[in-house]
Structure 1
Amino acid sequence: MKRIVAIHLLNDYSGSPKVLMQLLKAWTKNSMETHLFTSGGRKGFLSDISKVRNHYFWYRFSPNPVTRICNFFLCQFLLMIKLLFFLKRKDILYINTVLPFGAAIAGKIKGCKVIYHIHETSIKPAIFKNLLFGIAKFTAHKIVFVSEFLLRQESLINNQVLLYNVLEQDFVEKADQFQNHQNTVPVVLMICSLKIYKGVNEFLQLAQQNSQYIFKLVVNASEQEILDYFRMKEIPKNLKIYPTQVDTHIFYREADLVVNLSHPDLWVETFGLTILEGMRYRLPAIVPPIGGVTELVKNGENGFWVNSKNINELSEKINYILKDRIIYQSFSDAAYAKSLMFSEEYFEKESIHIISSL
């Protein structure tokens, strides 16, 4: 039986490792021998997955950009060497995101079937992006994209497939037990990384401009990182900020609206898993006007497309959705109906086909 050797750079609680976790569970459920190589030393979605054989390589993230890039290239060299000794010709090498290029080179040398699962397009600087995508094009036998937008945007080889991100069955069951309600004081929720290009500052401005609502920001960061980021900023009383959360259900249950405020000029959302999670909780959504996230939100039906730079328009759309109960219910029902299309059954079937069709 062929082995699947999956590679992911940084194990945390963000979207791309969560998708790989779902893939690993689908493969092991179907009795496929599965190995995972990821950086050690931290907990994330890829930790302690049953029946997956774990292997670790060195990588240390640094806030200093020069140190970070040096660490990254050293990490890829060490990963390549490690895999050259581990891989067999019949292995299927499944590379999650374009970052672990050392694995792709090792797979090419060893004659493995290489599959890339591409989640991203906004990689800077351009020379770095060209390197990563160039290696993917040179080494990949198949490329999986998370949205139609990304497939069109970054088309690299002939053998390309679309596999939408989906919600785990456990998440679906918990969400479907909840009966949606509208709070006395409506809650606007955003879950994201603590990055400027994710629209954190715009979310702060929205809270300042709309004191009639509660704004909840859940970021993939520590308490200290939050303190450092907001040290020189004035935080209004109606904005509540939370560090990394393993379980986000309580936030969706307490919310009335979910937003994504990524800057389209700096970071294009290729899918938007937190938006899909919110929609399963019947939450209308406001998202950027470009990217894969627009495949989830139909403008004017289950949410709106608004550029995060347009704070006044964002406020208008938030008020439009939240102030009228009939309008809110219509958007809420449409959001839930759309979420039903992204099932774990579809994901598992397609993930097995991607491997077996090589």
Structure 2
Amino acid sequence: MKVLHLLATGSVGGIEVLCRDIYRKSTNMENIFCFVFSGGEIAEDMRDNGADVRVLNYKNKDILKLINYLYNLCKDEHVDVAVVHHGAPINHIALAVLKSRLKSLKTVIYSHGNIQDTLRENIKRGLYFRKFAYSMCFKRCDAVVAISESVKNSLIQRYGEQFGEKINIVYNGIDLDKFKPNCDIGMQNRQGSVNIIYVGRLFKAKGVDILVKSLAEISSEKNFICNIIGDGPEKENIKSLIKEYKLEDKVVLRGVQKNVPEWLNKSDIFVHPATWEEGFGITIAEAMAFGLICIAFNKGALPEIIDSGNNGFLIESVSEKSLSEKILYCIEHINDEELIEIRKRACESSQRFSIDKTVLDLEHIFNRLCSR
């Protein structure tokens, strides 16, 4: 079975990393990865490891050129399934046109976020065109892959119950060879500083400013350190908040780190303070694999990962005070049997989110489409 994956760029990002994992873990798919606008670090890494990578360097104005290129590629290479990953309108229009021109081709939208985020509805410029392109593609495609129940529900609410049957839920997966579950953690008492960690991009909806402000409410006498792993447009604001609240010895911006598993492995508490309706939370699954106590606001798909009080904690109220109270509770009770058991169950729960299972689920969906 030959599968074409259509992406906007090949730079470092969650979608691109997932596609790299799909290439590495596929057993029944022959994959072609087409990066419409530009390549990047992930695209180069995939190519260096033998993947069939096509970097087109097209612009939005090259829509007809893209359609013709993809039509010939699918026809000449006998592509069975074409999957669009990124939300760029040019990709959705191209997929919809391909479906009308190649009747045997099965087309799939891989929905990596709730529809509001996919369409970037907070940005008014070009919104009508984005809505039109996605709607046309959604209604014509053979199937949709949604990364959570939350994403599926957002699509049904937008486009109607009649499309529910074409939406398949496939959770994002982590590489359990890399994020090795250690379910025996926590039996020994923690001595010294409690290590708190955040991993992710630094933009407003991720709520890292709320995390910093919540830590400022915890007494300086409490022995903890918080490492913030990642980069983004909020970096300077976060740096200013750390200085304003005199947290330089408590909160450290570490930037982008390639050895994230090592950072997680030496941490105790993972805080994911996102304030938006997040489509999934792959970093939470990674942290759970190392038996970290995960704390997040009850938003989007996060209740599908964290069973509050069982394998982590969800907070109903989005505020610095409520987050601060939960972090303080975990610091003060880090060696209690209750939290040790939560850490063990977190580790066990993480094994639901294996990249091997993700790829097997995708292969099953694509095979089912091709057998129709």
- Length-normalised TM-score, structure 1: 0.83
Q: Which secondary structure does the structure 2 equivalent of 1:299 belong to? A: coil
**1:83 maps to what in 2?**
70
Contact kept, 8 Å, 1:76 with 1:101, in 2: the verdict is: no
C-alpha distance after superposition, 1:187-240 (max 9, x if no partner): 22111212111112112212323343211111144xxx6764456544321111
Q: Displacement, 1:177?
A: 9.5
CA distance in 2: counterparts of 1:241 and 1:166, whole angstroms? 27
| Alignment partner of 2:207 out of 199, 215, 220 | 199
Contact kept, 8 Å, 1:261 with 1:307, in 2: the verdict is: no
**2:174 maps to what in 1?**
167
Contact kept, 8 Å, 1:287 with 1:294, in 2: the verdict is: no
Distance 1:219 1:80, change over 3 A: farther
Q: Which secondary structure does the structure 1 equivalent of 2:308 belong to? A: coil
Matched, 1:98 2:111: no
**1:342 maps to what in 2?**
353
Alignment length (residue pairs): 336
- Mean alpha-carbon deviation: is it higher for 111-120 or for 101-110? 101-110
C-alpha distance after superposition, 1:159-195 (max 9, x if no partner): 221111121132243x449955645211221112121
Q: Which secondary structure does the structure 2 equivalent of 1:286 belong to? A: strand
Distance 1:23 1:268, change over 3 A: same
Identity %: 18
**2:252 maps to what in 1?**
240
Residue segments in structure 2 that go unaligned for 5+ positions in a row? none
**1:63 maps to what in 2?**
none
Q: Which secondary structure does the structure 1 equivalent of 2:3 belong to? A: strand
Distance 1:347 1:242, change over 3 A: same
Matched, 1:149 2:180: no
CA distance in 2: counterparts of 1:11 and 1:183, whole angstroms? 43
Q: Displacement, 1:340?
A: 2.1
Report which structure shows greater RCO (CA 8 Å, sep ≥6): 2
**1:215 maps to what in 2?**
226
| Alignment partner of 1:37 out of 17, 20, 34 | 34
CA distance in 2: counterparts of 1:351 and 1:46, whole angstroms? 24
Alignment of 1:108-127 (within 5 A): 108-111=99-102, 112-121=105-114, 122=117, 123-125=120-122, 127=128
CA distance in 2: counterparts of 1:77 and 1:256, whole angstroms? 52
CA distance in 1: counterparts of 2:321 and 2:241, whole angstroms? 20
- Length-normalised TM-score, structure 2: 0.80
C-alpha distance after superposition, 1:66-108 (max 9, x if no partner): xxxxx6x447666445323422275310111433324423422
Distance 1:231 1:284, change over 3 A: closer
**1:270 maps to what in 2?**
279
Contact kept, 8 Å, 1:97 with 1:120, in 2: the verdict is: no
